[in-house]
Amino acid sequence: MTGARRIALVTGGRRGIGRAIAYALADRGFDVVINDLERDASADETLAGIAERGGKGAFVTGSVSDIDDHERIVSEAWDALGPIACLVNNAGVQTAYRGDMLDVPVESFDRLISVNLRGSYFLTQRIAKRMIAQPVTEPTRPDRSVIFISSGNAVIATQAQADYCISKSGIAMMATLYALRLAEYGIAVHEVRPGIIKTDMTADVFEKYDNWARSGGFPLARWGEPEDVGNTVGVLAAGLLPYSTGHAFHVDGGIHIRRT
């Protein structure tokens, strides 16, 4: 990419899929603000990786679940590197309860909705208003974007993760609605649906899914890597699919394909 580097904000960006997204964006010509709960060694490693790829990096502490703190998070992100051209709603949590959906605790359900759905909705709302206030030269060829990281569980029902599935299916509709609302301002909205990705979040079920992958459960018989998701986000944020908005991109080795 030539010209000035654009600015991206990645929530939940200090490690795992968030780190891979930050690196892919830096490779595509973005400077990257990462947001997460704390700045630790992992966050510093991610910032160093952004710099190695030719980008500027910045860190903003905060939880997307804290709606009252969104103004500070957005203002600090905006001030750190400049106007945000790409928001990646990556921050998310897995269910705290794997079991019968009739026994899902209220606390687990509320936590998932607060982080995965409610937090992303209102953070996007706040950033979208700032984006709209910036001039756009050619709205039919979007040069800004909002990208939601949801899950294959937006459409694949897993009863043992009922609350998680509900939160992710909500993200799918949220992305569709924001795509409709923001198109006239040259802001494309995309949803990325990772499948089984090798991260800390899937460490507790590694053996189960590893056996499934090896036995042909995935059409592309391997674990997904964070870089698979990151590269997809990089392509979308760079505007390489300029006539696409409101679409869901599966990054899952084909798990979502219905087979008989």
Write down the H helix ranges in the chain.
16-27, 41-52, 70-81, 106-112, 120-133, 162-182, 206-214, 226-237
In which region does residue 104 sit, left (phi positive, over 0), alpha (psi from -120 to 50) or beta (all else)? beta
Q: Are the CB atoms for 105 and 154 separated by under 8 Å?
A: no
- Give me the catalytic one of 23, 97, 121, 164: 164
Return the H-helix or E-strand segment holding 9: strand 6-11
DSSP 197: B
Is 164 an active-site residue? yes
CA distance 173 to 77: 26
Paired tokens of 256: 């979502």
In 3D space, the residue among 19, 23, 27, 25 whose CA is nearest the CA of residue 7 turns out to be 25
Sequence-distant (6+) residues with CB within 8 A of 94 are 161, 164, 201
HSE of 157, CA atoms in CB hemisphere, 13 A? 2
**CA 43 – CA 53 distance, rounded (Å):** 16
Count of residues making up the chain: 260
Catalytic residues, which ones? 164
